[in-house]
């Protein structure tokens, strides 16, 4: 299978404190030669100042000074690197329970999640929490990295026991693809290069797995959804009558001649052309940004959605969703918020808290409608006007939204439509 060299893979890392997430990413960057010389010099100097014999790999990702000084990760640190086979964006998220919202943020757009487990400790509550969030966010691929194998003498039995523990509880989760990998991030075993200490493991090292992970089928190519961001009226020579609807295709494929419906108005037409900066296209697909013109002059504005006539989104004003509460201030019962769903913004109200989830045990907490920071909950939302949505499990773009506090303008929650 040939991999598109320009294809972008987003992955997130998760694990308990000191499981070695930052060291693993540092090793990935270091061994794949993705470190700039000035970065290497700065980290080498910091490592010496802290009394380390070699380079402290974790410092490549702990970009904030507070993190470097304390040796911990407290925010979502994004890193970019490229190999000859693929481009990558890494979201390095904190392991502490009080940073659940940070993991949700970092994982929301990820193709894959790396869940680290310390080989000495095996599956712990944090492992279950991170696996649950990966499942909740419908991350298509999960790679379970059993790290620090050097501290258990590279024992195959220890590794097999951890795999068994993880499989036992993950059978209750909805994850399409789970893979397991024994490694030592500190020594580089099975990160970029194959380990000579674990000949019993016949799989590929982590970088090769990430480079060859098949992610093309992760996109929804069936449900054509085009949220309109703006209307283009150039009013200049050659474009006097041009009226295009610009935005990013959320899912599916559009072609000239397609019969479409504009939601929520219900007006129908056909796609006349699909235009880009470089010229017209015969077809366009997610996540391309394009301008679509229609055969008929109908009323279309920002927040509307163009869909195929025989495959429409649901126009809903009241719906259930799973949300993660981000804010220090608890949710106010029946308070008004602004919901941002694709390009559609409007007022919304949390009508009801159905239940909260104890993400350590996966059990439901009912009769408790007090939403506080890092809580994950099922709620009912009512909006002032319809939004055009799909279930999150079918479409991660049109099935997700954020809530914004009207007073402080802070993002207070992220949600997934059920």
Global pTM value? 0.84
What is the mean predicted confidence (pLDDT) over 233-255?
Answer: 90
pLDDT at 248 over 80: yes
pLDDT of residue 125: 84
Task: Give pLDDT tens digits for 81-130.
Answer: 899 999 999 887 776 666 677 788 888 889 999 999 999 999 998 888 88
| Predicted confidence (pLDDT) at residue 2 exceeds the cutoff of 60 | no
Q: To the nearest 10°, the Cα dihedral for 172, 175, 181, 184?
A: -90
Q: How far apart are CA 146 and CA 144, in angstroms?
A: 6
Bridge partners of residue 174, in order along the sequence: none
Question: Residue 72 — very low, low, confident or very high, per pLDDT cuts 50/70/90?
Answer: very low
**pLDDT band per the 50, 70, 90 thresholds, residue 64:** very low
Kindly indicate the confidence band of residue 323, based on its pLDDT and cuts at 50, 70 and 90. Answer: very high
**Percentage of the chain exceeding pLDDT 90:** 63
Mean pLDDT of 395-408: 95
Q: How many Å from the N-terminal Cα to the C-terminal Cα in the chain? A: 34
CB 280 within 8 A of CB 341: no
- Token reading at 249: 């295709």
Taking a C-beta distance cutoff of 8 angstroms, is the pair 115, 165 a contact?
A: no
- pLDDT band of residue 18 (cuts 50, 70, 90) is confident
Phi first, then psi, for residue 141 (nearest 5°) are: -125, 130
Q: Which string of DSSP letters, residue by residue, matches 111-147?
A: SEEEEEEETTT-S-HHHHHHHHHHHHTT-SEEEEEEE
97 vs 282, higher pLDDT: 282
Query: 379: closest CA among 405, 348, 356, 412?
Result: 356
The verdict on whether omega for the bond into residue 287 sits within 30 degrees of 0, i.e. cis, is yes
User: Side by side, which strands form the sheet with 77-82?
Assistant: 77-82, 87-92, 8-15, 112-118, 141-147, 177-182
Record the tokens describing residue 327, joined without a space: 């804010």
- What's the CA gap between 253 and 272, in Å, rounded? 15
Least confident of 45-49, 171-175, 256-260: 45-49
Residue 299 to residue 265: CA distance in whole angstroms: 8
Mean pLDDT across 315-335: 91
CA atoms within 13 A on the CB side of 285: 10
User: In a 3-state reduction of DSSP, which class is residue 322?
Assistant: strand
State the average pLDDT over residues 346-364: 91
């Amino acid at each position: 299978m040939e991999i598109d060299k320009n294809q972008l893979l987003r992955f997130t890392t998760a694990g308990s404190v000191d499981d070695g997430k930052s060291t693993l990413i540092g090793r990935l960057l270091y061994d794949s030669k993705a470190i700039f010389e000035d970065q290497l010099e700065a980290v080498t100097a910091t490592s010496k100042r802290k009394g380390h014999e070699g380079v402290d790999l974790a410092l490549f990702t702990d970009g904030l000074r507070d993190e470097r000084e304390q040796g911990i990760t407290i925010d979502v640190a994004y890193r970019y690197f490229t190999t000859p086979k693929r481009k990558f964006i890494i979201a390095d998220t904190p392991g502490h329970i009080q940073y659940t919202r940070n993991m949700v943020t970092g994982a929301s757009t990820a193709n894959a999640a790396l869940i680290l487990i310390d080989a000495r400790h095996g599956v712990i509550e944090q492992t279950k929490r991170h696996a649950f969030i990966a499942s909740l966010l419908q991350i298509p691929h999960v790679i379970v990295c059993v790290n620090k194998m050097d501290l258990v003498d590279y024992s195959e039995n220890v590794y097999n026991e951890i795999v068994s523990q993880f499989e036992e509880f993950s059978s209750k989760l909805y994850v399409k693809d789970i893979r397991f990998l024994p490694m030592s991030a500190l020594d580089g075993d099975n990160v970029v290069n194959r380990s000579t200490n674990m000949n019993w493991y016949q799989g590929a090292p982590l970088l090769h797995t990430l480079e060859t992970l098949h992610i093309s089928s992760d996109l929804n190519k069936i449900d054509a959804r085009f949220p309109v961001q703006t209307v283009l009226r150039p009013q200049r020579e050659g474009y006097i009558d041009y009226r295009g609807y610009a935005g990013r295709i959320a899912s599916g494929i559009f072609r000239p001649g397609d019969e479409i419906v504009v939601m929520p108005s219900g007006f129908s037409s056909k796609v006349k052309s699909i235009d880009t900066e470089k010229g017209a296209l015969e077809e366009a697909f997610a996540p391309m940004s394009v301008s679509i013109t229609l055969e008929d002059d109908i009323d279309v504005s920002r927040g509307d959605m163009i869909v195929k006539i025989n495959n429409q989104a649901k126009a809903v004003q009241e719906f259930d969703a799973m949300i993660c509460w981000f804010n220090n201030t608890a949710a106010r019962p029946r308070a008004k918020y602004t919901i941002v769903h694709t390009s559609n913004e409007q007022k919304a109200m949390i009508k009801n808290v159905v239940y909260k989830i104890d993400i350590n045990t996966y059990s439901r907490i009912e009769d408790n409608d007090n939403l506080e920071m890092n809580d994950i909950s099922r709620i009912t939302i009512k909006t002032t006007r319809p939004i055009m949505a799909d279930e999150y499990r079918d479409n991660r773009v049109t099935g997700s939204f954020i809530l914004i506090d009207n007073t402080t303008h802070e993002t207070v929650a992220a949600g997934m439509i059920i």
